Amino acid sequence: TQLLEQSPQFLSIQEGENLTVYCNSSSVFSSLQWYRQEPGEGPVLLVTVVTGGEVKKLKRLTFQFGDARKDSSLHITAAQPGDTGLYLCAGVRGTASKLTFGTGTRLQVTL
């Protein structure tokens, strides 16, 4: 099993703060995805990164894929309460379509 470790596990911040979530593995992934899961719902896809070093932006969220395609980061600028949720990274190895999910980061943004 190729484990994807996310850090931190839990993060509680105030509205307006910036934060970064990390997703690390010893394995190389052909692509990596980030999902957000709100309480009582399933995960929702935020972004897919494919190329080593790739950076994608989604409003206040910035996603980066490591040069070696073993790690990724998610940076949120000026966090809002609506950003609260469980953030999951998920990687694809080789030509497989099956995703391996990370351990998750639970984010709480308070007023």
- Which strand ranges, in their side-by-side order, compose the sheet holding 61-65? 5-7, 19-24, 71-76, 61-65, 55-58
- Closer CB to other proteins, 21 or 90, in the complex: 90
Strands 71-76 and 19-24: antiparallel
- Per-residue binder mask for other proteins (CB under 8 A), 2-41, x = binder: --x-------------------------xx-x-x----xx
Pick out residues in 50-79 that bind other proteins (CB under 8 A). Answer: 50
Strands 55-58 and 10-14: unpaired
Asked if residue 106 lies in contact with residue 8, where contact means CB atoms within 8 angstroms, the answer is no
Asked if residue 58 lies in contact with residue 75, where contact means CB atoms within 8 angstroms, the answer is no
Position among 23, 25, 43, 109 found at the interface with other proteins (CB under 8 A): 43
Least distance (Å) between residue 75 CB and other proteins: 20
Least distance (Å) between residue 13 CB and other proteins: 21
- Closer CB to other proteins, 82 or 94, in the complex: 94
Amino acid in position 29: F
Question: Which residues contribute to the site for other proteins (CB under 8 A)?
Answer: 4, 30-31, 33, 35, 40-45, 48, 50, 88, 90, 92, 94-99, 101-104
